[in-house]
């Protein structure tokens, strides 16, 4: 009987701690205001980040190794390549990819190869499309598998050895690689 607390007193205490703004010093209103501000600050930062295309020199070490193996020390420049991928891929087993380049396909100077790389896949160098001037326009469309959210890179190699690239982030919800 001694440790029994009257119901009225307990409820009163709870009620007070929930509703009293002046006593806590950190009211619900100020908390909401602060969290709203924080949310907007984060949203603005995220939007600002999305507007810029992904920088090409932001390359993880494992991808740098693959690039080194493929192209040696030749630098990959940004531009001349348009990479079309979905921002969010519902199914990682089928992600449509479209690569297009405005580089000429003339007999003396043409796009020799189009490379497709996915940073977070087991096999980073996913595909290589070797072309000839017979291909009137450097354009490739295919469907790929992605294990998880990852940058996708398209690198175009011209017959004179120049490298042009583009990259985009794809968010993946279903693992397509096992």
Partner 1 sequence: MTLEVGAARVLIPTGIRRGDVIDVRALVEHPMATGLFRDPEGKPIPAYFINDVIVTYGDQEAAHFAWSSGVSRDPFVEFSLRADREAELKFVWRDNRGGVFAQTADIKFVT
The residues pairing with 166 across neighbouring beta strands, listed in sequence order, are 154
x/- string (CB under 8 A) for partner 1, residues 29-68? Answer: ----------------------------------------
CB closer to partner 1, 36 vs 107: 107
CB closer to partner 1, 114 vs 166: 114
We find the least distance from the C-beta atom of residue 105 to partner 1, in angstroms, to be 8
Q: Distance between CA 81 and CA 115 in Å, rounded? A: 11
Report if residue 142 touches partner 1, rule: CB under 8 A.
Answer: yes
The residues pairing with 111 across neighbouring beta strands, listed in sequence order, are 158
Applying CB under 8 A, among 3, 52, 87, 134 the residue interacting with partner 1 is 134
Report if residue 121 touches partner 1, rule: CB under 8 A.
Answer: yes
Q: Distance between CA 127 and CA 70 in Å, rounded? A: 12
Neighbouring residues of 140: CB distance < 8 A, sequence distance ≥ 6: 97, 98, 99, 100, 114, 129
Strand pairing category for 95-101 and 139-144: antiparallel
Q: Which residues bind partner 1 (CB under 8 A)?
A: 93-95, 105, 118, 121-123, 125-146, 176-178
């Amino acid at each position: 009987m001694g440790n029994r607390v009257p119901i009225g007193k307990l409820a009163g205490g709870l009620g007070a701690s929930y509703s009293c703004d002046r006593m806590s010093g950190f009211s619900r209103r100020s908390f909401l205001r602060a969290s709203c501000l924080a949310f907007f600050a984060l949203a603005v930062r995220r939007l600002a980040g999305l507007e810029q295309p992904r920088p090409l020199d932001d390359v993880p070490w494992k991808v740098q190794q693959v690039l080194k193996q493929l192209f040696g020390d030749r630098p990959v420049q940004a531009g001349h390549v348009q990479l079309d991928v979905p921002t969010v891929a519902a199914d990682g087993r089928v992600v449509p990819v479209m690569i297009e380049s405005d580089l000429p396909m003339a007999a003396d100077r043409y796009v020799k190869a189009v490379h497709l790389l996915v940073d977070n896949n087991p096999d980073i160098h996913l595909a290589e499309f070797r072309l000839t001037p017979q291909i009137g326009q450097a354009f490739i469309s295919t469907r790929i598998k992605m294990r998880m959210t990852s940058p996708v890179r398209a690198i175009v190699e011209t017959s004179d050895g120049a490298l042009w690239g583009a990259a985009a982030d794809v968010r993946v919800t279903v693992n397509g690689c096992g």
